[in-house]
Structure 1
Amino acid sequence: AEVCLCLEDSEVSISEQVHSLFIDLARKGNTLYNIIPDIISRLSNPERSKTITTEVFDRIMRFILGLIGKERQNELLVEKLCARLCESRDERQWRDLSFCLNQLHYNEKCLKN
């Protein structure tokens, strides 16, 4: 999650390198998919929400979730994020999880679960 914050770094070369890193991770099977739930949890942690604005969270997650291209990964993320939304007790986490769910693509299988 700390690396994700470098996507917003004021130093353009750092931001570009981190963008490239995530694009490379997306090309490597399930690597990016596997770390997305942890990234979301850490960035939407109520203790960190004081330092990570909703705008920063939205830009980071819009980019990362936009890299998910496999339909099955998308379906599983919808399922995982819905489960987390039900378990969450913090308003900021609800907002962040809802934002992430809004970035994903839905199909019939997503809606049946």
Structure 2
Amino acid sequence: MAHIREHELLFGPQSLLSNYGPLVAEICSRSDIYKDKSLQAAATLCLAKLMCVSSEYCEAHLPLLITIMERSPNPTVRSNVVIALGDMAVCFNHLIDENTDFLYRRLADNDLSVKRTCLMTLTFLILAGQVKVKGQLGEMAKCLEDEDKRIADLARMFFTELSTKDNAVYNHFVDMFSLLSAGQMDEEPFKRIVKFLLSFVEKDKHARQLA
């Protein structure tokens, strides 16, 4: 009975989702009218939580949430959206898996707290197999040379854990190398990153193939 009651509260005709879902989406999409920063922060968090309970609501409002993550001037809002997208990747993997590029972009956020939150979220999702890696690991590798020591240490921990999975670093090395070499990275940081990554390529035949 408790389960049925909970389901009715969330999805029934008089549910929280049906009553407040449209209102929350309206507030989030019209920041030009609803300008209060605290209201926008609360509404965005509410939108994200409602998206986690309904795949239909999630799919309908995912573009709005991604836009907020990209454009909000509030780092707390951006961090909250990153965490929410991580939750949605677990609940509705098929919806988020196609939009992971937007998550990786937050690794270049100008706010350290957002970068850390994004790195930790991606670390969990990738190591737990919740998202497929499609050539974006180079963005994670850049964090190895981040000016913030906590971010650099988190990146080292990620690749150390990733290396315990069958040939994972080797399998993605070429993609990472291509992304890193195509950027504007200085030569010395680039060499340090490549050297660190190659330390996880232990099989001689793999080393020869990469060479």
TM normalised by structure 1 equals 0.60
Q: CA RMSD in A?
A: 1.2
Q: Which residue of 1 aligns with 2:165?
A: 28
Structure scoring higher RCO (CA < 8 A, sep ≥ 6) equals: 1
| Residue 141 of structure 2: aligned partner | 4
Rounded to whole Å, the distance in 2 between the matches of 1:32 and 1:64 is 7
Which runs of 5 or more structure 2 residues have no equivalent in the other structure? 1-137
Structure 1, unaligned runs of 5 or more = 79-113
Contact 2:140 2:155 (C-alpha < 8 Å) held by counterparts? yes
Corresponding position of 1:52:
185
Aligned to 1:66: 199
Structure 1 position 43, deviation (Å): 1.0
1:81-102: CA deviation from partner (whole Å, max 9, x where unpaired):
xxxxxxxxxxxxxxxxxxxxxx
Amino acid at match of 1:62: K
Q: Once the 2 structures are TM-superposed, how far is the Cα of residue 60 of structure 1 from its aligned partner?
A: 0.5
> Counterparts of 1:74 and 1:20 in 2: how far apart (Å)?
22
- The reply to whether residue 37 of structure 1 matches residue 136 of structure 2 is no
Match of 1:88?
none
SS of 2:193's partner is: helix
The answer to whether the 8 A contact 2:141-2:193 is kept is yes
Q: Is it true that 1:16 corresponds to 2:143 in the alignment? A: no
What CA deviation, in whole Å up to 9, does each residue of 1:30-75 have, x standing for no partner?
A: 2111110011111111xx2xx2011111011011111211223212
The one-letter code of the counterpart of 1:70 is K
Task: Please say which structure displays the higher CA radius of gyration.
Answer: 2
Percent of aligned positions that are identical:
32
Using the alignment, how far apart are the partners of 1:13 and 1:20 within structure 2?
10
User: What is the aligned length?
Assistant: 74
| Letter paired with 2:196 | F
Give the partner amino acid of 1:30.
N
Runs of 4+, deviation exceeding 4 Å: none
